[in-house]
């Protein structure tokens, strides 16, 4: 699968551009703030129905404009997919596949698998557990549509339970019966989600370790540990036991919405022990493992977006990364960089077909 054609109108600082891409490495070069990352984000939007960086759609409309449009033509299994998204201020977003609008955006997720590697990924390490849960869910949802539906249903049940907790000041027989209904749903759906998350992590970790060793030169040990209440607790009983405590707190303290991943470097949290280069290597290896995982499930490689990946990597790690993405399993790649000469030398080493685009103030030239 690859993106052949991209048309953008009023997306962030890109007023208007129409681009043709090669089935290899496509490079956006230019100074910081020129709009390189916005071009990658437009590609991401066509896959995930949202921006990678800003979840408030209206804020992605170019300043002083009333709408944005992104259109892409993809080659997917030798057939063309035309994807169109448009948003006008104060109106519902339009998202179409081959001129037919989706009734639910979730139907689109997984059609055009994509992996983005960006400096903002550092939030997976530095921020709270919600970021890491979103990461798991975003990957699994790309190849398993029922999983996304379960997560949506789980979150609805959790919201209902939390609403009940906030409205209540004592536990009566009738109230306990209501809690039983939501606790059963949370436990049942949570167990299914837990099992799928477990399977994903078990498949991901060995590949992640392999990629990290190749990037780092094999001198460091890394690991990912999955933590969940479903591993050790009878969640339904814990929910019942904690009802009064949860009422005082105003939220549900047990369930898969509290799951987390421990990112470890030599047995210690990479957040505390890792250098900038080690953290970036960790995240790149994680995302490349995600790429390999999706490739195996889909039977073809996703599009790979590399945003400013060579910053903070020493020359050895940078060279090792290039050797990795030079492999045949990585097909279409988009890369941004501020230094054209550096990126040219890097790309030439891969032997892949390539195309360069120079970006200045949202304008793109070949």
* Residue positions forming the annotated binding site for ATP: 30-37
Total residue count of the chain as it appears in this document: 366
* Rounded to 5°, angle at Cα 39 from 36 and 44: 130
Residue 40 has a CB neighbour count (10 Å cut-off) of 25
Q: Write the CA distances from 286 to 177, 222, 236, 261, 335, integer angstroms.
A: 43, 11, 33, 12, 18
Q: Of the candidates 3, 28, 118, 25, which has an alpha carbon nearest to the alpha carbon of residue 350?
A: 25
DSSP string covering 173-197: HHHHHHHHHHHHHHHHHHHHHHHHH
Report the distance separating Cα 309 and Cα 20, nearest Å: 23
Q: Of the candidates 292, 289, 236, which has an alpha carbon nearest to the alpha carbon of residue 261?
A: 289
Q: What residue numbers does the annotated binding site cover?
A: 30-37
For 274, the 3-state DSSP assignment is coil
The distance in angstroms from the start CA to the end CA of the chain is 23
Q: Of the candidates 200, 222, 223, 224, which has an alpha carbon nearest to the alpha carbon of residue 293?
A: 200
CA 27, 33, 39, 44 torsion-angle sign: positive
Q: Of the candidates 39, 22, 53, which has an alpha carbon nearest to the alpha carbon of residue 337?
A: 39
Q: Write the CA distances from 289 to 153, 205, 355, integer angstroms.
A: 28, 8, 26
256 membership: H or E segment, kind and range:
none
Q: Of the candidates 251, 233, 130, which has an alpha carbon nearest to the alpha carbon of residue 187?
A: 233
Q: List 115's β-bridge partners, or say none.
A: 304
């Amino acid at each position: 699968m690859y993106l052949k054609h991209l048309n953008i109108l009023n997306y962030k600082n890109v007023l208007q551009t129409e681009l043709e891409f090669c089935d290899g490495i496509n490079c956006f070069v230019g100074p910081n703030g020129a709009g390189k990352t916005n071009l990658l984000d437009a590609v991401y939007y066509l896959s995930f129905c949202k921006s990678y960086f800003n979840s408030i759609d209206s804020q992605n409309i170019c300043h002083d404009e009333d709408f944005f449009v992104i259109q892409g033509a993809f080659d997917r299994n030798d057939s063309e997919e035309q994807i169109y998204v448009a948003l006008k201020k104060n109106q519902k977003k339009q998202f179409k596949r081959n001129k037919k609008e989706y009734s639910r955006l979730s139907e689109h997720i997984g059609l055009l698998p994509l992996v983005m590697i960006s400096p903002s990924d550092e939030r997976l390490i530095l921020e709270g557990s919600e970021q890491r849960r979103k990461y798991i869910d975003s990957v699994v949802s790309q190849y398993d549509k029922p999983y996304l539906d379960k997560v949506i249903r789980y979150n609805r049940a959790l919201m209902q339970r939390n609403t009940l907790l906030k409205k209540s000041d004592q536990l009566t027989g009738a109230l306990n019966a209501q809690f039983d209904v939501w606790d059963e749903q949370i436990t049942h759906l949570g167990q299914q989600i837990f099992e799928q998350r477990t399977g994903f992590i078990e498949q991901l970790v060995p590949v992640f370790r392999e990629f990290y060793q190749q990037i780092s030169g094999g001198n460091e040990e890394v690991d990912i540990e999955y933590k969940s209440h479903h591993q050790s607790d009878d969640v339904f009983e814990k929910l019942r036991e904690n009802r009064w405590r949860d009422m005082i707190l105003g939220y549900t303290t047990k369930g898969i919405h509290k799951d987390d991943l421990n990112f470890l470097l030599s047995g210690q949290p990479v957040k505390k022990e890792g250098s900038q280069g080690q953290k970036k290597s960790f995240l790149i290896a994680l995302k490349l493992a995600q790429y390999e995982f999706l490739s195996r499930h889909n039977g073809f490689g996703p599009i790979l977006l590399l945003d400013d990946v060579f910053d903070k990597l020493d020359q050895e790690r940078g060279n090792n990364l290039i050797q990795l993405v030079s492999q045949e399993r990585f097909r279409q790649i988009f890369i941004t960089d501020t230094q054209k000469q550096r990126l040219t030398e890097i790309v030439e080493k891969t032997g892949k077909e390539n195309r360069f685009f120079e970006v200045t103030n949202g304008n793109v030239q070949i």
